[in-house]
């Protein structure tokens, strides 16, 4: 953090001893130690909060991209389903249309068998 060597700390300690005095120096040093500890914990908490926010932002971006991909897949599936449904409806409509000649009754008054009925052929003797 700071580039302070041992000799500089020694000078600061001697000046503090002269200015504060030997009776109050231990109490002041203890108070400064507590304040430095609080400051370090505060800085660590702020760093942790920033890291959490960055990770949360990354997770939100990932969630948005996954939702977008899911929406794209859903849209493509829906479009394919609608295309398939349209094609099947058209095929069913084309199959349901029977020519008028097939539906017309025979002119001779004969009964007409349905096309799906099995045909039985008589054996000629």
pLDDT in tens, the chain (125 residues): 567 788 888 898 889 888 888 889 889 989 999 999 999 999 999 999 999 999 999 999 999 999 999 999 999 999 999 999 999 999 888 877 755 555 555 555 555 555 555 555 555 54
Terminal Cα-to-Cα distance of the chain (whole angstroms): 118
> How many residues in total does the chain contain?
125
Sign for the pseudo-dihedral over CA of 57, 63, 67, 70: positive
Whole-prediction pTM? 0.47
Report domain extents, the chain. 6-85
CA dist., res. 115 & res. 60, Å (int): 64
- The pLDDT of residue 78 is 95
- The pLDDT of residue 3 is 76
Q: Determine contact, residues 20/28, Cβ cutoff 8 Å.
A: yes
* CA-CA-CA-CA dihedral for 103, 109, 115, 119, to nearest 10: -170
């Amino acid at each position: 953090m700071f580039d302070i060597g041992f000799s500089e700390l020694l000078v600061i300690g001697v000046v503090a001893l002269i200015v504060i005095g030997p009776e109050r120096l231990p109490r002041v040093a203890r108070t400064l130690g507590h304040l430095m500890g609080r400051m370090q914990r505060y800085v660590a908490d702020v760093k942790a909060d920033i890291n959490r926010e960055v990770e949360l932002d990354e997770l939100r971006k990932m969630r948005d991209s996954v939702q977008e991909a899911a929406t794209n897949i859903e849209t493509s599936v829906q479009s394919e389903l609608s295309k398939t449904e349209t094609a099947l409806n058209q095929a069913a409509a084309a199959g349901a249309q029977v020519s008028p000649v097939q539906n017309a009754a025979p002119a001779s008054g004969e009964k007409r068998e349905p096309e799906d009925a099995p045909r039985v052929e008589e054996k000629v003797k």
